[in-house]
Amino acid sequence: MVALRSDPPYPVVRLSPRAEARAIRHGFPWVYAGELVMDRRTASLAPGALAVLEDAERRPMGVVTVNPASRILCRVLDNDPGAVIDEDWIAVRLARALTLRQSLFDAPFYRLVHAEADGLPGVVIDRMGDLAVIQPNAAWAENHLPAIANALVRVTGVTRIVKNGSGRTRALEGLTEETHMVRGEAPDGPVPVPMNGAIYLADVLGGQKTGLFYDQRFNHALASRLAAGGRVLDVFCHVGGFGLAALAGGAREALLVDSSAAALALAEQGAERMGRRVTTRRGDAFAVMEDLAAAGEQFDLVVCDPPAFAPSKAALDAGLRAYERVARLAAPLVREGGILVLCSCSHAADLARFRAACARGIGRAGRRGPVIHTGFAGPDHPILPHLTEQGYLKALFFRL
């Protein structure tokens, strides 16, 4: 067992009088810069240190992890000020997360831990059979990765663990980028992941994020049903998300578009394992859609699932313009009565703004149609109600 608690007991940090202690008592999990009394001892705490948080009246509120280098100064780990944050504590959180996923899915392929919503702040874990990919996106998780890995093996029985230390969130915590095996042998190739009848291939050591996106699973399933017997265009396809699901659901053919040759190669290999073939086109998605429209191409289902165009509030206006442009270029490619699926993974662009941008783009293309479904991330991506950031994914299904 790897213990996280030091001796003597955790130091104490204190909320400033202007901080909203009630919000934290009611479940808000963060303390921002400016809300903590930054005396010399608090300022000298190492990133990821554990401490007991007190309110301005010196009443204990719980155990937190502290990072003086981050805008999020404290993340609440446990509301019990006497909690011992060790491997056993982590194992309890993991077991609770596992119980939910096992009630949702028949096979061990899912997001096992979704950070604060699963009681492990800043920690993301995707499971792919006997392999798990951990993203330690907070300093405390980085410091204590061995304990998380030990608990993960105990609770789930996985034999291989990858640390994926990449992404914008880690930079905000002052963490460097690195990806490597933590336990077991590295896979000798991409890891096959069955989902919605399709087979995806995840590059867990060199791919984007953890190598695969589980969050669209339920949106893939609906698109697959709507695509039966039809012709499909999947733009920003990554390793074939919507396109391979559509083929599994009986689509006649699928054209997959992405700027990454490696991702398209994995999509092709996934289709081969399914006994199907896909057509791929590498290039700038906007240019490819313009070329397809110029050639008079139309499809029964068109899906655009781009990267986050608005990853922050500062990028919101430019991001909304990009989403509008996607909709304007994609709409003419949908046959009369067909389906257009437009997605956003930008937490800064809320549903209302994203939907309005899409509607403007569709209208500018001279098309019309209702939204027949609004999709979000699946239940293995739970949302802490206090953190709107966790509700990042939106998928709008239009019938044009």
Q: Which one, of 351, 197, 218, 343, lies nearest residue 274 by Cα?
A: 197
Secondary element (H or E) of residue 127 = strand 123-128
Query: Per residue in 230-244, is it b (16+ CB within 10 Å) or e — as a string?
Result: bbbbbbbbbbbbbbb
Report CA-CA distances (Å) from 351 to 122, 218, 331, 346, 384: 24, 18, 19, 10, 17
Contact 252, 225 (CB under 8 A): no
Cβ-in-10-Å burial (0-12, 13-18, 19+) of 378 comes to buried
Which tokens go with 368? 């019309």
With beta carbons less than 8 A apart as the criterion, state whether 241 and 234 touch: yes
Q: Find all residues with CB under 8 Å of 17, minimum gap 6, and list them.
A: 56
- Decide: 351 and 374 in contact? Cβ < 8 Å: yes
CB contact burial 311-321 (16+ within 10 A = b; e otherwise):
beeebbeebbe
Longest dimension (CA), the chain: 72
Q: Hunting for tokens 């969050």 — which residue is that?
A: 215
Sign of the torsion angle spanned by Cα atoms 303, 249, 213, 379: positive
Determine how many CB atoms are found less than 10 A away from the CB of residue 166.
18
Q: Exactly one of 237, 304, 343, 345 is catalytic; which is it? A: 345
Residue 74 designated active-site? no
Sign of the alpha-carbon dihedral angle for 283, 284, 286, 290: negative
Positions marked catalytic? 345
